[in-house]
Structure 1
Amino acid sequence: MIEQKFDVIVIGAGMSGNAAAYTMASNGLKVLQLERGEYPGSKNVQGAIMYANMLEKIIPDFRDDAPLERHLVEQRLWVMDDTSHTGIHYRSDDFNEAKPNRYTIIRAQFDKWFSRKVREAGATVLCETTVTELIRDASDRVVGVRTDRAGGAIYADVVVLAEGVCGLLGTRAGLREMPEPQTVALAVKEMHFLPEEVIEQRFGVKGDEGCVIEAVGTISRSMAGLGFLYTNKESISLGIGCLVSDFAAMAESPYVLLDALKSHPSIRPLIAGSEVKEYSAHLIPEGGYKAIPQLFGDGWVVVGDAAQLNNAIHREGSNLAMTSGRIAAEAIVEVKSRNGPMTKRNLARYKAMLDKSFVVKDLRKYKDMPALLHTNSCNYFTTYPRLISQAAQNFMRVDGMAKIEKEKATTAAFIMARSRWGLVSDAVRLALAWR
């Protein structure tokens, strides 16, 4: 029977929950972490990118035994139409540094490793445990939880909600609203297994080097979406995601989009001969700064995806999750060190610290981008990718037509598609939202 009173209860064993639990346990707090999956990472079969700097602040020597796949030396950004892609590549040998900056990981393995570190730090971790409700005292302060296990209530000074983007506990308790469909993306992924040497040959990497491809364009069928390909040691994570509201409005199936992506002429050769062994779907917060809910209250804080902390423009989620979990933990440790109660006033320290971090600064910078891309998705994800492809082909194709005539044809195509005012308006709105 576990002890029924803790300093902190952490709900969820993903990136943010593990970061919070580890930081608090390492600072001597009595931590209970509850995870509804069979084991941490059991619900995550997908590959992902892990940002080293954020994990180093939590576990400085993580490279000694963390299950890392490849460190990234090349990033490819593709704008795709139905038969082609126009790309920007950045590759640097500087990324072959002693302590690489970014890695691909497989979440099922990584989350299990991170959870082991949490237990080694002294936290109690219970899996296959669903929290059914938050317990409040007479003053409406959260003082514990009830679970689907026998044994009654479990109490704590503060509860950390790291339950994911659509976690029902916080919404049922009235701590935050259920995210709107236009602020959440549904991503589907497959794991394509290939021999290491084949992956290295196809992507021009060696040893533990890796490459990432991220793509926008007609692959999302006029919806705001992103395709992605991550190289692991012996597999490729391939997927695509679009806003839930767009899937509903367009009556599109995410699985159909993924099948089309796999058969695209630019993708098909990269996965040829692979064996698909794993498939998953998951929700990603996409609302940005304007979708961030209340982050703290009497006896509770919310972190990670549950707090809508995801930078969709730079495709960064795990680093924001880990950072928010760590900062929330540091704020709680600070309050605890002063023997202060976990009141809303004291836990406001978490929000103040988060506001000073890159997490909120970056989200605030791009606060208008989600709405812009959502309301103009047809132009940015269909019209312009096709125009860009046509312009590139005109430039590359040598067919006896004078270059000046080609330039005139390209300009005319852009004007016909969007008009002069439309082109200027699109550029200005994008520039304003970007800055």
Structure 2
Amino acid sequence: MTERMFDVVVVGAGPAGSAAALTAARAGLSVALVERGPHPGSKNVYGGVVYGRVLDELVPRWWEQLPAQRWITRRSTMIMTDRQAVTVDVRAEAWGGPPYNGATAFRADLDGWLARLAEEAGAVLVPSTVATGLLRDVDGMVRGVRTDRPDGDLTAGVVIACDGVNSFLAKEAGLFTDRDTAQHNSLGVKETLALPREVLEDRFALRGRDGLDMEILGCTRGIPGGGFLYTNLDSISLGVVVGLKGLADSGVRPEELLADLRAHPSIAPLVRGAELKEYTAHLLPEGGYDTMPELVGDGILVAGDAAAMCLAAGVWLEGVNFAIGAGMYAGRAAVEALARDDTSLAGLAGYRRMLEESFVLADHRKLRRVPGLVFSDRVQQRYPALLCDLAEEFFRVDNPRPKPGLGRLLRRTASRHGVRLRHLLSDAVTGWRSFG
């Protein structure tokens, strides 16, 4: 067996990697946390919503430390066409106090905070370092990583790959199948738009640290995807997320879609007068449960975006919470395997068991059919126009004509948009089985 320099090497200091390093270091293991950027968060452009309850086990009273921008007390889902919009808006005062439901945050802040906790627990941060490949022993067991530093091999009992979408380490380990994972990846583009805090709070009817999370469907010219608007302390995160294949086939540039959204009659008044501070883009894995790689190999575990742990379920767009949870369980599995001196696939199998018993894989498995439904032609192109027209006609007062019944309106509107009622019923059943 190769003599190891560390017990655990974690590649990637995002939420999954830092949670794994923190967990393993707290258990007394020697841990290296490798980050390709000059500091954790420097390569990430996320400015969205964090669902922090997963931190209950990892960081007691985490809400007193989390670098939150705003606590989400409003959740809105907007369905739009180029001239219409229908919005369901939920407000909950209870979400504005501990233990909170969600918070907007910037990844540079969030990643830095989690990595500092890992360092304080004893992990060694290795910044500005790229893991270029895996080290193996004569039996093929993963025993560490190669890096781009001179003499930069890091040997370890367990490698935890948290190296992002299309993980090179997971691929080198043979954990991805022959499925074309690229077709399940999406591109997110985002603008950070600055507004004075008092203007923002007045415009969005917020107070104190309350915040809004708005998810949008029908804003991508029929390309599979959606949009979002999140409020920060004194800025707005406005963006779209679209499937790579659909975007390439359309010939449309992502900034065009973002410009469309910014100019939409329902969005333009909300961002009026805002100053562009940042434009960023990021790849996301959105294929769900059926596109995940194998999560365990001989001497290696995979977590976070590297494991396609991003839930694109229309009303729920989550990733950071799954990353933190998976990282925490990966750290625990490494501790157990090293204590038994068995870091083979069988020795690390507890990781999969922990994920199955937790929300991480339970939610992904329950909603495994939803990405296919959400990104389908009907949901992306037909249903937004159908629902907007249905709402417009239902609330139209057209005297002296009598008011039409909802069933008649639905049949007429569905026919106009080429939607058969059996398709509506089929999609409703899929949705019920997933969300019910």
Q: Cα deviations across residues 271-308 of structure 1 (Å, max 9, x unaligned)?
A: 11111111111111111111111111111100011111
Does 1:399 pair with 2:398?
Answer: yes
Partner of 1:295: 295
Q: Cα deviations across residues 336-387 of structure 1 (Å, max 9, x unaligned)?
A: 33x322111110110011111111111111112222333x32x212211112
Structure 1, 207-216 or 399-408: larger mean CA deviation: 399-408
Q: Cα deviations across residues 115-154 of structure 1 (Å, max 9, x unaligned)?
A: 1111111110011100111010110000111111012422
Partner of 1:272: 272
Structure 2 length as normaliser, TM-score?
Answer: 0.94
The 5 Å alignment of 1:146-225 reads 146-177=146-177, 180-217=181-218, 219-225=219-225
One-letter identity of the residue aligned with 1:144: G
1:138 alignment partner, SS class: coil
1:340 alignment partner, SS class: coil
Partner of 2:347: 346
Q: What is the distance in 1 between the residues matched to 2:266 and 2:352?
A: 44
Structure 1 length as normaliser, TM-score?
Answer: 0.94
Q: What is the distance in 2 between the residues matched to 1:5 and 1:426?
A: 53
One-letter identity of the residue aligned with 1:303: A
1:418 alignment partner, SS class: coil
Partner of 1:234: 234
Work out which of the residue numbers 323, 326, 344 in structure 1 matches 2:325. Answer: 323
The 5 Å alignment of 1:16-415 reads 16-177=16-177, 180-217=181-218, 219-313=219-313, 314-337=316-339, 339-374=340-375, 376-377=376-377, 379-405=378-404, 408=408, 411-415=411-415
1:344 alignment partner, SS class: coil
State the Cα distance separating 1:179 from its structure 2 match.
5.3
RMSD across aligned positions (CA): 1.9
Q: What is the distance in 1 between the residues matched to 2:99 and 2:301?
A: 33
Any conservation in 2 of the 1:9–1:32 contact (CA below 8 Å)?
yes
State the Cα distance separating 1:67 from its structure 2 match.
1.6
Q: What is the distance in 2 between the residues matched to 1:69 and 1:200?
A: 13
Any conservation in 1 of the 2:49–2:213 contact (CA below 8 Å)?
no
Q: What is the distance in 2 between the residues matched to 1:284 and 1:347?
A: 27
Q: 1:231 to 1:139 in 2, by over 3 A?
A: same
Any conservation in 1 of the 2:76–2:90 contact (CA below 8 Å)?
yes
Any conservation in 2 of the 1:47–1:107 contact (CA below 8 Å)?
yes
State the Cα distance separating 1:432 from its structure 2 match.
4.5
Partner of 1:11: 11
Count of matched residue pairs: 429
2:94 alignment partner, SS class: helix
Structure 1, 165-174 or 236-245: larger mean CA deviation: 165-174
Q: 1:392 to 1:69 in 2, by over 3 A?
A: same
State the Cα distance separating 1:427 from its structure 2 match.
3.2
Q: 1:152 to 1:100 in 2, by over 3 A?
A: closer
Q: Cα deviations across residues 217-261 of structure 1 (Å, max 9, x unaligned)?
A: 1x1111221210111101111111011111122222211111111
Q: What is the distance in 1 between the residues matched to 2:282 and 2:16?
A: 16
Q: 1:148 to 1:429 in 2, by over 3 A?
A: same
Structure 1, 93-102 or 263-272: larger mean CA deviation: 93-102
Unaligned runs of 5+ in 2: none
Q: What is the distance in 1 between the residues matched to 2:420 and 2:68?
A: 49
One-letter identity of the residue aligned with 1:362: D
One-letter identity of the residue aligned with 1:418: V
Q: 1:65 to 1:365 in 2, by over 3 A?
A: closer
One-letter identity of the residue aligned with 1:332: A
Any conservation in 1 of the 2:187–2:281 contact (CA below 8 Å)?
yes
Structure 1, 235-244 or 423-432: larger mean CA deviation: 423-432
One-letter identity of the residue aligned with 1:343: S
1:59 alignment partner, SS class: coil
State the Cα distance separating 1:176 from its structure 2 match.
2.2
One-letter identity of the residue aligned with 2:386: L
Q: What is the distance in 2 between the residues matched to 1:211 and 1:433?
A: 25
State the Cα distance separating 1:28 from its structure 2 match.
0.9
Q: 1:5 to 1:264 in 2, by over 3 A?
A: same
State the Cα distance separating 1:429 from its structure 2 match.
4.3
1:44 alignment partner, SS class: coil
Unaligned runs of 5+ in 1: none
2:186 alignment partner, SS class: strand
Q: What is the distance in 2 between the residues matched to 1:297 and 1:226?
A: 35
Partner of 1:419: 420
Percent of pairs with identical residues: 39
One-letter identity of the residue aligned with 2:103: Y
Q: 1:220 to 1:403 in 2, by over 3 A?
A: farther
